[in-house]
């Protein structure tokens, strides 16, 4: 009886730790944006706790980096550095690797506690080590994919706002400054970094290169490249923004229409394999029994 209570308590601890880490990772930026005006007065209690968690994971990660391949570490750095939400959540490559090792160890120990058979203990323990180590990688990729999808959805609206600001006589630099101050989104965060780099004296050309290297969204890259070319050749910014927004809205409409056409095709699978057999069983079953009489008795 005691072993079951310990196992359940250990599993609940594992679930709570994973949930707390992911919850703070995903929603930390929202809290920061809501308290942006008061961020000089000090961070909240949850931020301090989460920061201490990351410091603890970073200590494990510093040791874990020594046994990992450099190419794998480079891939993790690219995944984490491409998302600004991870930076505002104090997530570093060391803390992420530490979390991977700790989660892998927790799943391994959980399998050892839960299973009594020696062979199954080895199999499931090894599987727990592998799954616990690689699940955070898929989570990071999933979060990055959702981030790119959100950027693609917000981009036409951002361009419309930039177009309105440009119609008032503002250049592209002032238009971006106005939009980022009024509209909070992932693209606005990227543009704020872009403006900060220019204010620090990096130069527009290098700032454009940096923002292109950091983001993997094809639509956003195309838009930034278009702005860069327009400034280089002196083209009309307002007309370019108008055309770009119309083109992106057309692409989104085409994507929605494509998904709508696929719905009817996808509905065939549950219709054929689930609904149709049940319907035939209900309708034809009594009919076969009545026609055959007592043949099956």
- HEC readout, 126-151: HHHHHHHHHHHHHHHHHHHHHHHHHH
DSSP-derived secondary structure letter, 66: G
Residue-level pLDDT at 8? 57
- pLDDT at position 21 is 60
Render pLDDT for 46-69 as a digit per residue (tens, 0 to 9): 566 667 777 777 777 888 788 888
CATH fold for domain 149-262: Receptor-associated Protein (1.20.81)
Domain boundaries of the chain, sorted by first residue:
2-33+49-114, 149-262
The predicted pLDDT at position 14 comes to: 59
The residue whose two tokens read 């599993």 is: 11
Distance from C-alpha of 163 to C-alpha of 26, rounded to nearest angstrom: 31
Q: Rounded mean pLDDT of 167-189?
A: 84
- Structure confidence at residue 230 (pLDDT): 79
Does the pLDDT value for residue 22 go beyond 70? no
21-35, 170-184, 239-253: which range is least confident on average? 21-35
Selection from 5, 46, 40 nearest residue 25 by Cα = 46
Q: Sign of torsion, CA 199 204 210 212?
A: positive
What's the gap between Cα 67 and its chain centre?
Answer: 27
Backbone angles phi, psi at 111, to 5 degrees: -65, -40
User: Over 60: is that where the pLDDT of 148 sits?
Assistant: yes
pTM exceeds 0.75: no
**Amino acid 40: pLDDT:** 36
Does the pLDDT value for residue 37 go beyond 50?
no
What is the H or E stretch that residue 180 is in?
helix 172-182
Q: What percent of the chain has pLDDT over 90?
A: 0
Q: CA dist 280 to 2, 267, 269, Å?
A: 51, 18, 16
| For range 224-236, the mean pLDDT | 79
| 64-85: pLDDT as tens digits | 788 888 888 888 877 776 665 6
Does residue 169 or residue 13 have the better pLDDT?
169
Of residues 150 and 296, more confidently modeled: 150
pLDDT for position 295: 59
What 8-state DSSP symbol labels residue 274?
I
Radius of gyration of the chain (CA): 27
Residues recorded for the chain: 297
């Amino acid at each position: 009886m005691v072993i079951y209570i310990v196992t359940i308590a250990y599993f609940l601890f594992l679930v709570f730790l994973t949930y707390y880490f992911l919850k703070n990772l995903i929603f930390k930026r929202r809290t920061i944006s809501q308290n942006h005006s008061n961020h000089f007065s000090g961070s909240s209690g949850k931020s301090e706790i989460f920061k201490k968690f990351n410091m603890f994971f970073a200590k494990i990660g510093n040791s874990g980096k020594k046994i990992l391949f450099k190419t794998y570490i480079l891939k993790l750095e690219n995944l984490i550095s491409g998302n600004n939400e991870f930076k505002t959540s104090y997530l570093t490559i060391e803390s992420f690797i530490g979390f991977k090792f700790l989660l892998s160890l927790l799943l391994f120990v959980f399998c050892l506690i839960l299973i009594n058979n020696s062979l199954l203990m080895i199999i499931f323990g090894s599987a727990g080590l592998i799954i616990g180590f690689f699940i955070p990688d898929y989570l990071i990729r999933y979060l990055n994919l959702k981030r790119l999808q959100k950027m693609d959805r917000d981009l036409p609206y951002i361009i419309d706002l930039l177009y309105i600001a440009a119609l008032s006589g503002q250049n592209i630099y002032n238009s971006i400054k106005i939009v980022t101050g009024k509209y909070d989104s992932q693209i606005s965060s990227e543009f704020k970094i872009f403006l900060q780099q220019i204010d620090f004296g990096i130069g527009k050309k290098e700032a454009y290169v940096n923002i292109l290297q950091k983001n993997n969204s094809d639509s956003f890259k195309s838009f930034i490249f278009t702005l860069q070319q327009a400034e280089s050749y002196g083209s009309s910014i307002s007309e370019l923004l108008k055309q770009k927004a119309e083109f992106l809205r057309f692409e989104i409409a085409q994507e929605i229409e494509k998904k709508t056409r696929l719905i009817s095709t996808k509905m065939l699978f549950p219709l054929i394999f689930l609904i149709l057999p049940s319907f035939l069983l209900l309708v034809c079953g009594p009919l076969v029994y009545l026609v055959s009489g007592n043949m099956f008795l």
